[in-house]
């Protein structure tokens, strides 16, 4: 699932996606790791496996997709 495929519901899920990415930034910063797309993706993927509610899984998957796209566009090869 890509973020451009989810534009039907994305605006209503935006607060949940922002929260997921914001929480990831805080946790990664507390760990002393660099804050970049790769470390945020690692944290979100681990967190996604522990989730139980469907709504959060959709928002989390969108956040992961957005970070993947960001990593592909702006990351160094």
For the chain, domain boundaries: 3-72
Q: How much is the pLDDT for 25?
A: 94
Determine the average pLDDT of the residues in 31-57.
86
Q: How much is the pLDDT for 30?
A: 96
- Report which of 4, 27, 14 is spatially closest to residue 58, judged by C-alpha positions: 14
pTM: predicted TM-score of the whole model, two decimal places: 0.75
Question: DSSP secondary-structure letter at 6?
Answer: G
Is the pLDDT confidence value at 16 over 60?
Answer: yes
Q: How much is the pLDDT for 58?
A: 80
- Give the confidence band of 5 by pLDDT, cuts at 50, 70, 90: low
Take residue 68 and report the two structure tokens written for it: 């993947």
Do the Cβ atoms of 46 and 70 come closer than 8 Å? no
Take residue 57 and report the two structure tokens written for it: 């899984």
What is the CATH number assigned to the segment(s) 3-72? 1.20.5
């Amino acid at each position: 699932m890509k973020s451009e495929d989810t534009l039907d519901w994305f605006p209503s899920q935006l607060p949940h996606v922002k929260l997921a990415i914001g929480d990831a930034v805080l946790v990664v910063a507390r760990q002393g790791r660099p804050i970049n797309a790769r470390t945020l993706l690692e944290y979100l993927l681990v967190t996604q496996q522990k989730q139980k509610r469907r709504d959060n899984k959709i928002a989390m998957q969108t956040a992961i997709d957005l970070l993947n796209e960001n990593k592909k566009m702006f990351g160094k090869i």
